[in-house]
Amino acid sequence: MITTTGLTKVYRSGGREVTALDGVDLHVREGEVYGVVGQSGAGKSTLIRCVNLLERPSSGTVTVAGQDLTALAGRGPRAGAELRRARSRIGMVFQHFNLLSSRTVQSNIELPLEILGVSGKERERKALELLDLVGLADKAKAYPAQLSGGQKQRVGIARALAGDPKVLLSDESTSALDPETTRSILQLLRDLNQQLGLTVLLITHEMEVVKTICDSAALMKGGRVVESGTVSEILATPGSELAAELFPVGGEASGPDRTVVDVTFHGEAATQPVISQLSRTYNIDISILGAAMDTVAGKQVGRMRIELPGRFEENVVPIGFLREQGLQVDVADTKTPAPADALLKEGAK
């Protein structure tokens, strides 16, 4: 549904060049919720703004629903009209709501329909229908100042849906909300994804967002996508940074003659008593140093850090046993901080 190929964005100011996007290749399948995560300055916001051409890429292509949007940019009045029609099929939800304070809730939702030339009665019908969909049927005549942050974001989502888009873009849409409100907005986005068949591309610095609603995810660093895939694929990838950030675990070896490994559970193995089986089978004492388990896309997944007695050479067989059970097993470097720490601290700024 959304594909970027070799996407590059270079900003020039005062003789200096800053590369915000450096050859980004991304593929979002129809009907999925796709999350892009990374530190501030990684290029996430630039990427999502290039998808609907609010920012025009320096090079590369953006294809949405089979249409190359970059081919329409700057190609004369006719192409410009086609680009505007294409954009009308892409909804956008912003971090700070971007509602007009002088307009009622209903009027804010009607605004994009006014721009499209939709009649007054049809605008009213559509706005009230969308308000009911996002759970604000009783707020049509209220003004933004009378709403809570979560209610404002629901209005923003309803406005983004006014043009019956096939794609919904979310630019840090929950980062200004408290945890409980965040959960309700994420559930709304997932419900809309399923009820309307929406393809959702969202950017966030919050790992909980990815775990809660994303089918697939990508990690950006320095304007590049350094890792991507479905959540299941990411968890099954040896040494995955994104897996470590989604399910951070800590704990250090109690001595030099110990082996610490990170075990990733996914699929059927997540429900099996594998660790206790390992202990009984090889008659070894296993220490659990840390664990992070959760339910993603209706399935239990997570990671666990365990300590085995003896050096690595003495644990080749037990580690092999774990891998035979369908688990991802990586020997942990307990002297290196979990990569999630830096990301979450940056996101909290």
Specify whether 88 is located in the same domain as 212: yes
DSSP one-letter code for 338? P
Q: Which long-range contacts (CB under 8 A, 24 or more apart) does 185-190 make?
A: 185/150, 185/153, 185/154, 185/157, 186/212, 186/213, 187/213, 188/134, 188/135, 188/154, 188/157, 189/33, 189/157, 189/213, 190/33
Question: Are both 205 and 293 inside the same structural domain?
Answer: no
Say which CATH number the domain at 99 has. 3.40.50.300
Q: Could you tell me if 188 and 268 lie in one domain? A: no
Q: CB–CB of 246/213 below 8 Å? A: no
- Within-domain flag for 346: no
Tell me how crowded residue 263 is: count the other CB atoms within 10 A of its CB. 25
One domain, residues 51 and 166:
yes
pLDDT for residue 77: 57
Q: In what order do the strands lie in the sheet with 199-204?
A: 90-93, 167-171, 199-204, 33-38, 216-221, 224-230
Residue 166: inside a domain: yes
For 328, how many CA atoms within 13 A lie in the half-sphere containing its CB?
20
Task: Residue 309: give its domain's CATH number.
Answer: 3.30.70.260
Gap between the Cα atoms of 281 and 88, Å rounded: 61
Is 345 within the bounds of a domain? no
164 and 40 in one domain? Answer: yes
Locate 53 and state its tokens. 């051409």
Boundary-marking domain end, from 176, 209, 235:
235
In a domain, 348, yes or no: no
In a domain, 333, yes or no: yes
**DSSP per-residue string spanning 57-72:** -SEEEEEETTEEGGGT
Residues of the chain with pLDDT under 50: 336-349
E strand intervals along 41-164: 59-64, 67-68, 90-93
**Domain identity same for 64 and 121:** yes
In angstroms, the Cα distances linking 4 to 63, 201, 215, 216, 224 are: 6, 12, 18, 16, 12
Residues 215 and 275 in one domain: no
Residue 240 resides in a domain = no
Are 139 and 283 contained in the same domain?
no
Q: How buried is residue 152: exposed, middle or buried, by Cβ count under 10 Å (0-12/13-18/19+)? A: buried
**Does 175 lie in the same domain as 74?**
yes
Count H helices and E strands in the chain, helices first: 12, 14
In a domain, 305, yes or no: yes
Q: What is the pTM of this model?
A: 0.82
Please report whether residue 291 resides in a domain.
yes
Residue at token pair 């942050």? 149
Q: Are residues 51 and 125 in the same domain?
A: yes
Sheet holding 59-64, edge to edge: 16-28, 2-13, 59-64, 67-68
Contact call for residues 64 and 2 (beta carbons, < 8 A): yes
Where in the sequence is the domain holding 280, given as residue range(s)? 248-338
DSSP states of 161-208 as a string? TTT--SEEEEESTTTTS-HHHHHHHHHHHHHHHHHH--EEEEEES-HH
Count the Cβ atoms, other than its own, within 10 Å of residue 266: 22
Residue with tokens 């099954």: 236
Tell me what pLDDT residue 96 has: 84
Describe the crossing of helices 120-133 and 149-160 by its angle, rounded to 10 degrees.
130
Other Cβ atoms less than 10 A from the Cβ of 161: the count is 22
- Do 77 and 17 have their domain in common? yes
Residue 76 has a pLDDT of 56
Cα–Cα distance for residue pair 150/172, rounded to 1 Å: 13
Q: Of 235, 270, 289, which residue constitutes the final position of a domain?
A: 235
Domains identified in the chain, total number: 2
Together in a domain, 9 and 157: yes
